[in-house]
Structure 1
Amino acid sequence: MARLSPATQPIARSGLTPALTAPNADGDIIDTGRVFLEVANGGGSPITVTVISTAEVDGLPVEDLEVSVPAAGRKLIGPFAKTTFGQPSSDPNAGKALVDYSSITSVTRGVFSL
C-alpha cells in the first residue's frame, strides 16, 4: 500500500466537527504550515508518531519529530514548518510532510488547519 493523503480539515469560526480516520501501514502525506495532526490511540500500548524532517543545519540533518501517544490517549501534534518537514521541490509530494506510525492497530488520525 502507498502512503495516504488525508484531507486537511479547516477550522472555521462557525466550528468544525472533526473526522478521524485510520492511517495505513505505509503512513501519511500531510500539508505543512499552520497544520496539526490529531492522533487517537485506542490500543493498549503506546505508539510513536514520526514526522520526517528534511532540513539540514550546517550540513547536519535535523532530527525527525517523534511523539509518543499513550495507550488509550490522544495527542495534537504540530504545526509543521515547510522548511523543516516539507519534501523537496523535486519530489512528487513537494512541500508536504511524511508521517509514520509505529502501529496502526486501533489508531485514528485527522489533519487540521487554522
Structure 2
Amino acid sequence: MARVDVTTQPITRAGVAPPLTAPTIDGDIVDVGAVAVWVDNAGVAAVTVTVQTPVTQDGLALADLAVTVPAGAHRLIGPLPSRTFAQPADAAEGAGRALVDYSAVTDVTRAVIRI
C-alpha cells in the first residue's frame, strides 16, 4: 500500500461530524496550516502518531512531533503550521503537505479537520 491522501473536513457554524476512517500502515498525507488530525484509538494498546518534520534550522534537524494516543482514547493533534511540517516542493511524496505515521493501525481511525 501507499500513503493515503486524506481529505480535510472544514468546521462550519453548524458543526462538523467528520467521518473517521482507518489509516494504512504506510501513513497519511495531510494538509498543513490551521489543520488538526483527530485520532481515535479503540484498541487495547497505545498508538504513537508521528508527524514528520522536514525542517532543519542552523544545521540542526527539528524533531518529529510524536503524540501517544492511549488505548481507548482519542487525541486532536495540531495545528500543523507549514513552516514546520510541510514537505519540500521537491519531495518524493507529499510536497507542500505533511506526512503522518502510525505505530499501529488496528482499531485506529482518524479524520483531518480544518480548525
TM bin, normalised by shorter chain, reads over 0.9
TM-aligned CA deviation for residue 93 of structure 1: 2.2
Which of structure 1's runs of 4+ aligned residues deviate more than 3 A? none
Q: Is 1:42 equivalent to 2:42 in the alignment?
A: yes
Matches within 5 A, 1:30-109: 30-91=30-91, 92-109=93-110
Question: What corresponds to 2:19 in structure 1?
Answer: 19
Number of aligned residue pairs: give it: 114
Secondary structure of 1:83's counterpart equals helix
Secondary structure of 1:84's counterpart equals helix
| Cα distance per residue 1:46-92 (max 9 Å; x no partner) | 01000000111101100000000000000000001111110101125
Question: What corresponds to 2:3 in structure 1?
Answer: 3
| Amino acid in structure 2 at the alignment position of 1:106 | D
The RMSD of aligned alpha carbons is: 0.8
Between the two proteins, what is the percent identity of the paired residues? 51
TM-aligned CA deviation for residue 15 of structure 1: 1.6
Note the residue ranges of structure 1 that are not aligned, 5 or more in a row. Answer: none
C-alpha distance in 2 between matches for 1:61 and 1:84? 11
